[in-house]
Structure 1
Amino acid sequence: MIKVMIVEDDPMVAELNRRYIERIPGFLFCSIASNGDEALDILKKTQIDLVLLDIFMPSMNGLELLSKIRELNYSVDVIVVSAARDNKTIQTVLRNGAVDYLIKPFEFERLQSALVSFKKRLKLIKKNTNLSQSELDQQIFSGISNENVELPKGLDRNTIKRVWDQILEVKGEFTAETMATSVGLSPVSIRKYLKHFQNNDLLSTEISYGAVGRPVYKYRCTREQE
């Protein structure tokens, strides 16, 4: 369970956010802090995984608290929940490592999306000691649109999708020749697309040798969910 602390000086807003958190599987509400000093005291005594942080608070505001959390090197992630929408505040928050920023008022679905995305990223990082570029882009830097990525020369975006959809239809191994027949491309063309998927860690390759010793490359999908 991901342990969550709410840092919010408005009791009604804090209570609403608490109810939101309790509706989302995988998250455990732990405490509410009404100011920065109280939040630091809780972090000192309790293992918290995620903080929902307001900006406008008396004494120590959210920006100062976030900076203090980083200074003290607490192992905790932060999602800012605030009515502040000026670019300076948002830039300061991002520079201090907040994983998301929600502008008040917001719908439950937006908070749910933020928490679910955070849970997926946390699970991915804990599960793998080494990550590929495609895994980082897909799960963590998902804001990078594939539409803006420049493709290797000679590859067509629509054909990539057609080939990938056909790969997902295959159960087990396949060869370039069988895939070329299924998609309607020449073996030379299909190998370019298969190479593209290999480079993005979406296909694995094994070499086998027939009766006459000719090598046969067999492909297998490794990232069906992507």
Structure 2
Amino acid sequence: MEHRVLVVDDDFMVARLHGVYVDRTPGFRTAGVAHGAAEAVRQAALLSPDLVLLDLYLPDGPGLEALRRIREVAPEADFLVVSAAKDTQTVRRAQRAGVVNYLIKPFEQAELRARLGHWRATRLALDGTRSTDQSQVDRLFPVPGPGRAGGQRAHRDALPKGLSSPTASLVEEALRSAGPEGLSASECAAGTGLSRVSARRYLEHFTAAGRAGVHLRYGTTGRPERRYTWHP
């Protein structure tokens, strides 16, 4: 299943780049591109996107006003803000408007990919079900609590400086998908879009936190390969 994404940015080159990032992320494709608020509303009405990558600085109106208008014509769409705006008032207004995530420009492909992956995972957790349980709800609204998955996540999300929670979720997803064979740092990097050094930092963090295990696989030549497996 591919999720349709509408990219909204006033800069033509930036919009094109974000579209490339989207298309390189498994499970996503760029359904349309708009460079202003009015155009974004028209595109949303035609395309009914699943997700809108929304810039807040648009030539014909504020991005959050465009969000309100898009919601009227595409009520099922979610919104991920990608903007240079980083003042707390704007971030709070975006949060109150119900955006699923907020990414400050400039950013690397892996950061957008991590947030797209997190959004997809939470969406799939609820799609096709008529009722839910606490563990599924905790994926949408993680709250630390004793004995709950939220408490485990809080421990996992106490990340060292330089590591981010969305990227950690992306690495976790890659580890879970690998099964008992596990992943090397190089394989994790290839699957997530991270550099090998960054992938290994996250893998080692999970290992130190007791959420992953590591074993050595010996080849015919060279140093043994470190392989990581997720602990259920």
Write the distance in 1 (CA, Å) between the matches of 2:74 and 2:8. Answer: 18
* 2:127 alignment partner, SS class: helix
After superposition, the Cα gap between the structure-2 partners of 1:46 and 1:105, relative to the gap in structure 1 and judged at 3 Å, is same
Matched-pair contact (CA < 8 Å) for 2:84–2:105: yes
Aligned to 2:84: 83
Moved >6 Å (runs of 4+): none
Report the RMSD for the aligned CA atoms in angstroms. Answer: 2.2
| Residues 56 and 83, structure 2, Cα contact 8 Å, conserved in 1 | yes
State the alpha-carbon separation in 1 of the partners of residues 231 and 46 from structure 2: 40
Quick one: distance in 1 between partners of 2:121 and 2:147? 27
Which residue matches 1:47?
A: 48
Question: Which residue does 1:97 correspond to in 2?
Answer: 98
Residue 182 of structure 1 corresponds to none
Instruction: Give the structure 1 partner of residue 128 of structure 2.
Output: 127
Aligned length: 151
> Would you say 1:12 and 2:13 are equivalent positions?
yes
| Structure 1 residue 72 displacement after superposition | 4.9
| SS of the residue 1:84 aligns to | coil
The alignment's TM-score, normalised by the length of structure 2, stands at 0.60
- Aligned match of 1:213: none
Structure 1 or 2, whichever has the larger Rg, is 1
Q: Identity over aligned residues, as a percent?
A: 36
- Contiguous gaps of at least 5 residues in structure 1: 158-223
State the alpha-carbon separation in 2 of the partners of residues 70 and 46 from structure 1: 13
Task: Note the 1:76-225 alignment, pairs <5 A.
Answer: 76-137=77-138, 139-142=139-142, 144=143, 146=144, 149-150=145-146
Give the structure-1-normalised TM-score.
Answer: 0.62
Cα deviation, 1:72-131, whole Å, max 9, x if unaligned, reads 562200000001011111111111111000001111111011100111111111132111
- 1:70 and 1:96 in contact (8 A); partners too: no
Range with greater deviation from structure 2 (6-15 or 126-135) = 126-135
Whether contact under 8 Å (2:45, 2:70) holds in the other structure is no
SS in 1 for 2:61: coil
**Cα distance between partner residues in 1 of 2:137 and 2:231:** 14
